Amino acid sequence: MNSNFTKIIRFVLGLILIVFGANKVIMIFMESGFLPQPSFPEAGGAKEFMNSLDTAGYILPIVGALEVYVGVLLILKKWVPFALVVLAPISVNILLFHFFLDLSGGMIGALVVATLNGVLIYKHWSQFKPLFY
């Protein structure tokens, strides 16, 4: 579990989550974050879906805060299995959003986050076994 490979994956995933999560959190206080906002195509429903999440007002900031929290836990190597469990539904939803609503947009990023999360879950599987047996 403490191989250099695992450390690198944990650090990279944590850094990705902190950057993109912080961008969502900063959008609360400013009109836009420090990263440019993606433009979604009119067809397919991605734009309407993101507008509805933005209109709700609380979903994107909470997801952003969770991403930052999980990213910090991964980088600090604190409660890694817990962080991976919290991240699992977020990474699956990112992947499904891009698969069903915005195939061309950020599918590579979604695959990277889901794959890194899956690899880390596999590496920590011994700690998850009691949940399934």
pLDDT of res. 25: 87
Contacts of 128 (CB under 8 A, 6+ apart): 81, 121
Q: Distance between CA 45 and CA 47 in Å, rounded? A: 6
Among 112, 111, 128, which residue's Cα sits nearest to residue 13? 112
pLDDT digits (tens, 9 = 90+) for 55-87: 887 888 899 999 999 999 999 999 999 999 999
Average pLDDT over residues 99-118: 87
Q: Distance between CA 84 and CA 101 in Å, rounded? A: 25
Q: Distance between CA 108 and CA 41 in Å, rounded? A: 17
pLDDT digits (tens, 9 = 90+) for 36-48: 777 777 767 888 8
Average pLDDT over residues 86-91: 95
Among 97, 27, 107, which residue's Cα sits nearest to residue 68? 27
| Cα four-point dihedral sign 108, 110, 115, 117 | positive
